[in-house]
Amino acid sequence: MAELDKIRDSNEEYSHNFKYGTLPITPARKLAVLACMDARLNVNEALGLETGDAHIIRNAGGIATDDAIRSLIISHELLGTQEFVVINHTDCGMLTFADKDLQKDLRQKYKSDASEIKFYSFPNLEENVKNQVNKIKSTPFLPPDIPVHGFIYDVKTGKIERIAGDQKTINEILIPSSSP
Ligand SMILES: [Zn+2]
């Protein structure tokens, strides 16, 4: 069966039992997740999130591009999220090439200059997560104290390991301290 038919059939079934029609626009868990697009990483399942719980922003590498930051600003400012999570994963395709090589291959294949396309390939997973967390933290249009956590997801075990970010949790942000 062609993929188009498969997704139509699946959606027919999905809409038949649909139970999310009354969810509010604001994410219930006040979370926004920036993750790599890797097909093996199911963000909702891995983090125990349900439909309506969180914004999930995905791109190749889980990179805090201008566009990802645009989404985070909208997520926080207009839709009330209070905590951000960045997730990269082991065996990421972004570790396997260099921007300049892909740019060169594209130019040869399509006879068009690809040197302006930034692919954000990276050689070190942990460093990449830290860089994205720092980039989000340094954005002037997000509160400096918003918690941003960096994780690596292991595609072999399904486990996440926290490797960057603030110790502060959402509870410390939302529940005022007992001092008068
Ligand atoms: Zn990846």
- Summarised one tens digit per residue, pLDDT across range 9-53 is 999 999 999 999 999 999 999 999 999 999 999 999 999 999 999
Q: Are the C-beta atoms of residues 99 and 116 closer than 8 Å to each other?
A: no
Confidence (pLDDT) at 53: 98
Q: What is the mean pLDDT of the chain?
A: 93
CATH superfamily of this structure's domain 29-96+124-174: Carbonic anhydrase (3.40.1050.10)
* pLDDT tier for residue 165 given thresholds of 50, 70 and 90: confident
Domain locations in the chain as residue ranges: 29-96+124-174
Parallel, antiparallel, or unpaired: how do β-strands 83-89 and 54-59 relate? unpaired
Confidence (pLDDT) at 1: 73
94 alpha carbon – ligand 1 mean position (Å): 6
113 alpha carbon – ligand 1 mean position (Å): 25
87 alpha carbon – ligand 1 mean position (Å): 9
Q: Are the C-beta atoms of residues 79 and 26 closer than 8 Å to each other?
A: yes
117 alpha carbon – ligand 1 mean position (Å): 18
Query: Of 74, 55, 85, whose CA–CA distance to 146 is shortest?
Result: 85
At residue 38, the 3 state secondary structure works out as: coil
153 alpha carbon – ligand 1 mean position (Å): 10
Confidence (pLDDT) at 175: 44
DSSP 62-107: ----HHHHHHHHHHHHTT---EEEEEEETT-GGGS--HHHHHHHHH
Q: Are the C-beta atoms of residues 121 and 61 closer than 8 Å to each other?
A: yes
Confidence (pLDDT) at 167: 62
Kindly report, residue by residue over 104-150, the tens digit of the pLDDT: 999 999 999 999 999 999 999 999 999 999 999 999 999 999 999 99
4 alpha carbon – ligand 1 mean position (Å): 25
**Percent of the chain surpassing pLDDT 70:** 92
Confidence (pLDDT) at 169: 57
40 alpha carbon – ligand 1 mean position (Å): 9
What is the pTM for the complete model shown? 0.90
36 alpha carbon – ligand 1 mean position (Å): 5
User: Rounded CA gap, 5 and 95, in Å?
Assistant: 34
56 alpha carbon – ligand 1 mean position (Å): 15
96 alpha carbon – ligand 1 mean position (Å): 10
Burial class for 61, CB neighbours closer than 10 Å (0-12, 13-18, 19+): buried
User: Rounded CA gap, 129 and 165, in Å?
Assistant: 9
90 alpha carbon – ligand 1 mean position (Å): 8
* pLDDT tier for residue 95 given thresholds of 50, 70 and 90: very high
Confidence (pLDDT) at 168: 56
User: Rounded CA gap, 31 and 1, in Å?
Assistant: 37
DSSP class of residue 151? E
